[in-house]
Amino acid sequence: MRRRKGLQLARVLGIPISVGMSWLLVLFVYILYFTGPFHEVLGGSSTKAYLVTVATVLALFLSIVIHELGHAIVARRSGLQVLGIELWALGGITKTVGASRSPFSQLRVALAGPLATLVVMLLCSGALTLLAPHQAIFDLAIGSGAQTTALGVALKVLVLLNAAVLALNLLPAIPLDGGQIAQALVWWKTGDRNLATRLTGRMGQGFSLLIGVLGLYLLAHAESEGFWLLLIALVVYQGAGAAVAQGSIGQRLQRLTVADVMDREPITIPAESTLLDARDRFFSRYQWPWFAVVDPAQRFLGVLSRERVEAELAAGRPALTVEDALEEDMHVGIDLTQPLESLLSSEALAKLGGVVAVDGDGTLRGVVTLAQVRQALRSAS
């Protein structure tokens, strides 16, 4: 998937937080929507109501950031690379590289966001109880004319909106958190991640249709909330449809291994070659960024990169052997019996464009390139 570019606002615990253009539009819509009702409840000047509305809407999106940080922190602790958090029209998304390696890891990541939202709700509820101990949280009727403090209104709205976010997110519909939780549980029960993805994707499509019908009903009765429900239904249906396709393709890919798609006669560099020889015979001829290096028994030793060769030659070491110039942090080896699906989350494949297939004895048997994986995906589709 092509990454959307957003405007970065901050960096928390090393995690960049950005916003998309749709978020800026929805921010304006939320402020426009809530300012009138806030003015009726608070009374006084319209400027006061506007400022309270802006503060409340920004606090709502801050609570969404906290929700996504819950996902991001647990994902990072589970070994996933977190690219960042982006706020958009209907909330936020945590971008990661790869996928959870077990259903329990996915379950922890999926639960982290709702638990963070629950903590925000409890904190707002506690603050409201301290400010107005005799006032129930759910008795606020926007537009009723009941006078209350600005902070009290803001806290009540935050509790109610976060409760709505929590309830919506826990629906067992991919791509919502509840769908991720359901997927992890089905994966754990069946042992088949792709089956779980496909089944929960179907559930998501069903829930999205129900949400859409409710949205149409509200619109037919001139209720503006119906528009938002229709938008949510569209997003959920698209995400659920993608999950169904991913699960179906994944089930087909389960039958393929690395050995089924690899190039069985790759070009490799003998370990005893000099760097000058490697440059002239391999890098200058093929223009590839790296080559696999093997010993006389064809055992895979590591990777030699063009940058390393050029650096060593510039330093006056042309006679240095290839084996002495291997890259230390380029881990590109994979067992040739691994399912092809395991390559989809391979960081080496994404960064370097290929991986080296080896057998149980460490002997190099082939190379799998990104182009070969893409061709296999097209065939499975």
Q: pLDDT digits over 259-294, tens only?
A: 777 888 888 999 999 999 999 999 999 888 889 899
CA distances to 52, 205, 308, 331, 350 from 25, rounded to whole Å, are 19, 27, 48, 44, 34
- Tally of helices (H runs) and strands (E runs) in the chain: 13, 10
Confidence tier at 144 by pLDDT (50, 70, 90): very low
Q: What is the tens place of the pLDDT at every residue in 66-125?
A: 999 999 999 999 888 888 888 876 678 888 876 788 899 999 999 999 999 999 999 988
pLDDT tops 60 at residue 3: no
Q: Classify 91 as helix, strand or coil.
A: strand
Q: Return the pLDDT at 5.
A: 57
Q: What is the tens place of the pLDDT at every residue in 315-337?
A: 998 999 999 988 877 777 888 77
Confidence tier at 244 by pLDDT (50, 70, 90): confident
**Burial of residue 98 (number of CB atoms within 10 Å: 0-12, 13-18, 19+):** middle
Mean pLDDT of 143-158: 68
Given a contact cutoff of 8 angstroms between Cβ atoms, the answer to whether 227 and 233 are in contact is no
Cα separation, 105 vs 197, whole angstroms: 15
Q: Which two tokens stand for residue 271?
A: 């370990």
CA distances to 74, 301, 365 from 334, rounded to whole Å, are 27, 13, 10
Kindly state the helix (H) or strand (E) to which residue 93 belongs, with its residue range.
strand 91-97
Confidence tier at 344 by pLDDT (50, 70, 90): low
Cα separation, 166 vs 168, whole angstroms: 6
Residue 44, CB-side half-sphere exposure with 13 Å CA sphere: 14
Cα separation, 134 vs 282, whole angstroms: 80
